[in-house]
Structure 1
Amino acid sequence: MTQAAAQPYTGGDDLDDGLDVASEYMPTGAVDGDDADIRHSDAGGDAQGFFSEDEGDDRSDQDDERDDDGSAEVGQKRKATAGEREQGQVSGAALSDQEKKKKRKLKAKERSEKRKVREAEALQPSEMTVSQLDEWLFDNLKEAYPKASDMELADLRIPPGSIMSTREWTDKRDLTTLPAFIQKQLPPLPKNIKKEGSPSIIIFSLSGMRCADVVRSLRSMNPKAPGEIAKLFAKHLKVSEQIEYLQKTKICIAAGTPNRIGKILADSDALHIRQQTMILLDLSYHDSKNRTLLSIPEIRQDFWKILFADKVVRQKLLASGVKIGVF
C-alpha cells in the first residue's frame, strides 16, 4: 500500500475546522486567501483596527489641551517662570540666594498669620475654667521644657488647687478696668496691714514699662489701697535696694516681672507670701508683636524656671496656699 504524500506545512495547526472569520473582525484591507497580507489603509501607518474613531478624537483633544496650557512638546524642556522658581514648583530648578531668602520670608509670614488666626479663634485664658487653665498652663510649661520627661513636668506643674478662674468678669480687661476688677473680682483687700513686705496681690507683667503703667492705674482705686504699691522690676532699683525697701515698707500690692520677683524671693525673706496672697497674671496685655506675658520665650523661661523650678521659691509661693488667677 502506497502512503499519501505529506502535505506542506502552512502554519498553525493542520486541522481544517471549517470555521471562517466574520468579515467585521477582519482588518480593513485584509484579503482572503492563504497568502494574504494585512495591509495598512493609509500611508500614515495608524491601523484603523487598533484605534477606534472615538479614541482618536480623545487623543486629539488631549494634544490640544497640552498646546493650550503652554506645555512643552515631548522631548523638549519648558523654561520655568520666575514665579515658579520662587515657589520651588519646578523640580531641579535651582533658586538663587535672593529667591531663597524671599521664599523663607514668605513662609515665615504665612506661619505668623496662621498663628494669629489660631490665637484669635482660641479660648483666651481669662475665659477659661480652672481645669482649662490647668491644661493651658501645663502646655505652656511644656514649651519652657520641651525635652523634659512626663515625671519632670509633673514636679513643676502648678497644682490645680492653686489656680483660680476669673471668667465671671465679663467687662473688658485693660488698665482702665483693672482697679474695679481687683475690688470686685478678687478677695477684699485688708483694711490694715500688720507686716512690712506682705502684699495681698502680686501682679506679674511682661516688662518694667508695663509694670509702671499698672502701678499708675491702681493709684486711682477708690477707696485707695491701704498700703503702698510696690514696683519690683529692673531699671527701677537694684535687687538689694528693693529688698531693703520691702523690709521697711507696708505694701498692699506689688507689680513686677517674674525675673525680679523670683530673685527677691530666692535671695531674701523680704517679700512675704501669705495664704491670702493672690498672684495675678497680666495676660490681657499684648506688646507691639502681639505677644503676652507667657508667649515671650525669655519671660516664659523666667516664670517657670525662676519661680516654679527653684525649690525655695516654689515652696514660698505654693506652700502657703496662694491662688493664681488671670487678668
Structure 2
Amino acid sequence: MARTKQIARKHSSGVKRKRTPEDDAADTGSGNEQPQKKSATANAAANSRAGQTVYDKTIAKDGPEKLAERFTDAIKKQKGDLSTIELEDESLPPKAFKDTTGFGETRLAKNLSDFLEQYTPDGREGLKSCAEETGSPHTILLTSSAIRAQALLQQVRAYGSEDNKIAKLFAKHLKLKDHIQYVQKTKFGIGAGTAHRIQHLIENEVLKLKHLKRVVIDGSYVDDKQRTIFTDRDAFLPTLSLLNLDQLKLRLVSSETELLVF
C-alpha cells in the first residue's frame, strides 16, 4: 500500500523523466531501434520467412512469482550493484503478472493470436474492439526490436479494421514528431513496438493508458544472437524504464493493467 501511494504521489507531481542521450539517439534514428547491420537483418528476415523455431521454453512454466523473480534477476544483472531499496523500487510485484501457465501451445509467433484470445475477456471479439478516443489501446505488445514487432503485427492483423488500426509503435522509418501526429489521429486497440518509442509517446501524452488492459512482453523470443528481452541489455533497460513509468506502474500494481509474458 505504501508503495502504491508513493507512485501516486510521484504521478501527481507532473515531473517527467529527464531525457538521456539514449533517448535522443532513439528519436533521431541513431539508437538501438535503428535497423541492425545487414548480416543480422538478413538473418532475421530469413528466420522470419522460414518460421520461428527457437524460443525460451522456460517462460511457459513460470507463474507470477517466478516471473517477478526473473524480472528482478534481470535488473540485478543488467543494472549492476543496487541497494535493497533501489532494487525494490524498480522491481514488480507478482500480482502485476498474469498467470499464463495454462496456455498449452508453444510460445511461437504463430500462436500469439491463440494466446491473446485465451487471456482476453470476450476473446476474439474483445481483441477486435477499440475505444472511441484516439491513441487509446487495450493491448500493447512489447518487443525487443522493430523487426520482431513487425513479425508480431502480422499475427494480429485480423483484429484490425478500417476504423480500428493495428498500430506500429516503433521508431524505424518514422520520426517522433510524425509518430505523435499519427497516434493523435488514429483509433487502435492493439499496438506493437519497442519500449523507447512507446515511452516517448506516453510522455508526449498522445498514447493514453486509461483503456489499457494488458501489456504483453515478448519474453520467449530468442534473437539471432541468442538473446531474449531479459538478457539483451539494450532491450531490457528501456523495457524496465517503461514499466517503471509512474502512470503505467500505478496501473500494474493496482491490477488495472495486466502484465503477460508470452
* Greater RCO, CA 8 A, separation 6+: 2
Equivalent residue for 1:321?
Answer: 256
1:320 & 1:164 partners in 2: Cα distance?
10
Distance 1:144 1:310, change over 3 A: farther
Q: Give the Å deviation of 1:313.
A: 5.7
Any unmatched runs of 5+ in structure 2?
A: 1-53
Equivalent residue for 2:168?
Answer: 231
Q: Give the Å deviation of 1:315.
A: 4.6
Equivalent residue for 2:193?
Answer: 256
Distance 1:308 1:192, change over 3 A: closer
Equivalent residue for 1:303?
Answer: 239
Query: The residue matched to 1:253 in structure 2 has which SS?
Result: strand
Q: Give the Å deviation of 1:185.
A: 2.6
Distance 1:234 1:275, change over 3 A: closer
Indicate conservation of the 8 Å contact 2:131/2:211, yes or no: no
Q: Give the Å deviation of 1:144.
A: 2.6
Deviates more, 1:150-159 or 1:316-325: 316-325
1:173 & 1:148 partners in 2: Cα distance?
32
Equivalent residue for 2:91?
Answer: 157
Distance 1:144 1:309, change over 3 A: farther
Which amino acid counterpart does residue 203 of structure 1 have in structure 2? L
Task: Provide, for residues 215-250 of structure 1, a one-character-per-residue CA deviation record: whole Å limited to 9, x for no partner.
Answer: 1121145x9797211111122311221121111111
Which amino acid counterpart does residue 101 of structure 2 have in structure 1? R
Distance 1:174 1:260, change over 3 A: same
Matches within 5 A, 1:75-224: 124-188=58-122, 189=126, 191-221=129-159
1:225 & 1:139 partners in 2: Cα distance?
42
2:140 & 2:97 partners in 1: Cα distance?
14
Any unmatched runs of 5+ in structure 1?
A: 1-119
Q: CA RMSD in A?
A: 2.6
Query: The residue matched to 2:180 in structure 1 has which SS?
Result: helix
1:180 & 1:255 partners in 2: Cα distance?
17
2:220 & 2:75 partners in 1: Cα distance?
19
Distance 1:276 1:233, change over 3 A: closer
Indicate conservation of the 8 Å contact 1:196/1:250, yes or no: yes
1:322 & 1:261 partners in 2: Cα distance?
16
2:213 & 2:157 partners in 1: Cα distance?
19
Query: The residue matched to 1:240 in structure 2 has which SS?
Result: helix
2:145 & 2:206 partners in 1: Cα distance?
22
Q: Give the Å deviation of 1:309.
A: 4.5
Equivalent residue for 2:18?
Answer: none
Indicate conservation of the 8 Å contact 1:193/1:226, yes or no: no
Which structure has greater helix proportion?
2
Indicate conservation of the 8 Å contact 2:95/2:255, yes or no: no
Indicate conservation of the 8 Å contact 1:162/1:321, yes or no: no
Distance 1:277 1:123, change over 3 A: same
Percent identity over paired residues: 28
Matches within 5 A, 1:40-79: none
Distance 1:214 1:172, change over 3 A: same
Equivalent residue for 1:280?
Answer: 216
2:130 & 2:238 partners in 1: Cα distance?
33
Query: The residue matched to 2:102 in structure 1 has which SS?
Result: coil
Query: The residue matched to 2:103 in structure 1 has which SS?
Result: coil
Q: Give the Å deviation of 1:314.
A: 4.0
Task: Provide, for residues 57-93 of structure 1, a one-character-per-residue CA deviation record: whole Å limited to 9, x for no partner.
Answer: xxxxxxxxxxxxxxxxxxxxxxxxxxxxxxxxxxxxx
Indicate conservation of the 8 Å contact 1:211/1:255, yes or no: yes
Indicate conservation of the 8 Å contact 1:262/1:313, yes or no: no
Q: Does 1:247 align with 2:184?
A: yes
| Rg larger in structure | 1
Distance 1:166 1:271, change over 3 A: same
Which amino acid counterpart does residue 303 of structure 1 have in structure 2? T
1:130 & 1:318 partners in 2: Cα distance?
13
Query: The residue matched to 1:176 in structure 2 has which SS?
Result: helix
Query: The residue matched to 1:177 in structure 2 has which SS?
Result: helix
